[in-house]
Chains A and B, each alone.
Chain A
Amino acid sequence: MTSAASSVSSADSSTHRKRSKWDCETDPALVASPQPPSKRRHIAMHHADVSPSLSTSPKRPAQSIFVPPRTRHPPLASSRSVYSYEKLNSIEEGSYGIVFRARDKQTGDIVALKKLKLDEEKYGFPITALREINALMLCRHDNVVGIREVVVGETLTQVFIVMDFIEHDLKTLLTLMPSPFLQSEIKTLMLQLLSAVSHCHSNWILHRDLKTSNLLMNNRGTIKVADFGLARRYGDPVGVGGMTQLVVTLWYRAPEILLGAKTYSTAIDMWSVGCIFAELLLKEPLFQAKAEIELISMIFKLLGPPTNDSWPEYSSLPLAKTITLPSPQPHQFRQKFPFLTIAGIDLLLSLLTYDPERRITAEEALQHPYFSEAPAPKHPDMFSSFPSAAAGERRRKPFSSPPAPARGGGHKLLTDLE
């Protein structure tokens, strides 16, 4: 009953809000739409004996961005059923589960449905799936694949993560595309990747499995970081120690994890970013090693073996003693990347730095001169599009001439004429 009246009064009040000095910036949309205060009024009325008269809030300062109005908080809502979606085709199957392409029956949107494997779970809902869902919800960003909701099937063992459908993954694209990305395109992709990684890190999330097959790309030149299956929170007060070394796909794994470091942090993601940068330049993975030892020797060969100067903590790492260092030699980056500019080499060297303490952070890398020198990053809209394997589209063969006439058919045609 009072809700109508009170919303009117608040609409009035919104016109002469005064700005609080605590505001940094206020979302204009946020100020323009006054929060319907009916909810609080009603709660307050339960304690009518103590609540002051309802007319006490005529002037309300605009809210700080750190205290969003309560209407911006989502209501408590249960998971919808998976039958809200219509299955189209399966995209891929991994150890974690199967990914389907599906259509939202209400909106018609095309989405990706990731079915979690829960059948053999002894310890309730798997912590890895929890981390993945939480990380995706926490790290909403233009370059992180968007989570829409989590839906459930008929039994408690059927859980599906609903995500935006993205046409390509960078890995498949790199192997299929006829020529490598241009420098201007690589810059755009790297800027997007770095801004996503920086966003995750500022939200205290480590991805721990960055690689080209986990970078999705749409037909509008935007990449999205996906597969947070190994992601976890880091830093104080969440457990700093006790993190597993069984992370990151081998080719993209940082040297400190290879050497058994007990604690690691954001720098491991930055090493992977360096490997991805190199892969974009080379059009093939940088370190294609079959096992850890081979990978270590490949790293030593490209970077030169670590020294006391380049990595002071090296000798204290658990597995350092098991490795005999080759004789010192300078790094081989110039030979490996003959066409990269000096700034480009510098960025690559800063990403592929031995000492995790000195490895460049995502935030710093975004400011690197490589991105401001010519050629400028290409606008995402200028990227060419490709047929999507995930959507079941086929690539047209480049020089497909029409097939030769079939003999039987041609013969029949002649007889028909007769």
Chain B
Amino acid sequence: MSARPTLYPLASLSQFHSTPSAQDSIPRHVEDDLRAYGCKLIHQAGILLNQKQVAVATAQILLQRFFYVSSLKQFGVADIGMGALYLSSKLEECPVRMRDLINVYDLLLQRAAHTVASASSSSLHHPAEFKYTPMSYFGNTFYDLKEALVVSEMQILKRLGFDVQVVLPYGTLVNYMRLLGLTSRNEAVSMAWGYLNDALQTPVYALYAVPTVVSAAILLTTRRLGISLPSSPENCWWELFDVEWEDLWSVCGYIMRLYRERTTAEQVEIMGLLSKKDLRQWLEGRIT
């Protein structure tokens, strides 16, 4: 019997064209950077929690999907990232303790807030070093974060229609690299693997099927390392994997735009918009 491929959900054309955040007049580049930062937080939390990469990657893909059905004005990226990581840890059978996850997010958010604060107080030439203050045992921080966590998890499930099936790209990458005879070059394998992981901070896994994303990682790798593969019409290597050039190129664009140098001001601006409250204030400030 043949195992049928899993038909995981992908954003539709209209969902891509006009995201809920865009409808709330959040600029595209801010949305993209916030999505990326939300995924970066998941990644950092995953490292601090010693969580498996499968759970981290799944959480990042769920976050990207979520913001095709919901607006950043309604749900902060930090909250949704925390909920997504909690959910994906259950899905991948490696559950994390709620308190551990909350502590880690509290640290990460405090650090971001510190960066924003020290950037705005421009009078200080040498900003104070960040020092983490653990949440007080009887304070409300824990319960507030816990509430946000539970609500986010439920909202992700509800707004994604409980279809949280995710297919990760790593197995496919190994197969494709073998097929193209690239596995003998270690630096090619690890570079392509790295591109796949970086792509987790972009929306491509919510927009394109796995073969397309994997082929994009291979294309970037071969171009970077100057490896030539059959690429002229009639004999294009990506056609082996049923990938369209336009799609492939678009995914490469998403990944490369992630590496664009951001100014400190741009970075700080994004770090100040992690909660829906901050984002709403910022939106109002822009209008007036």
Contacts and interface: CB of A to CB of B under 8 A. Distances in A.
Interface of A: 20, 22, 24, 37-44, 46-47, 50-52, 54, 56-57, 61, 63-68, 70, 72-79, 123-125, 127, 130, 133-134, 137-138, 149-150, 152, 156, 159, 198-199, 202-203, 232-233, 237-239, 363
Interface stretch (B103-111, B117-125, B236-244): B236-244
Contact of B5 (A39, A67, A233): A67
A124 B250 contact: no
A79 B161 contact: yes
B9 A125 contact: no
A297 to B, nearest CB: 34
A37 B161 CA distance: 25
Contact of A44 (B10, B94, B158, B249): B249
Interface of B: 1-13, 15-17, 54, 65, 68-69, 86-87, 90-95, 98, 149-151, 153-155, 157-165, 206-209, 211, 233, 239-242, 244-247, 249-250, 253
A74 B154 contact: no
A70 B5 contact: no
Contacts of B246: 40-41, 43-44, 51-52, 54, 56-57
Contacts of B154: 124-125, 156
Contacts of B2: 24, 65
Nearest to B156: A125
A66 B158 contact: no
A141 B165 CA distance: 17
Given A39-B13, A156-B151, 4 more contacts: A75-B15, A77-B69, A123-B98, A199-B1
Nearest to B251: A43
Contact of B93 (A22, A38, A233): A233
Given A47-B250, A138-B165, A76 B160 contact: yes
Contacts of B253: 46-47, 50
A152 B156 CA distance: 13
Contact of B207 (A43, A133, A152): A43
Contacts of A232: 93
Contacts of A238: 92-93
Nearest to B168: A237
Given A44-B247, A56-B233, A78 B160 contact: yes
B5 A66 contact: yes
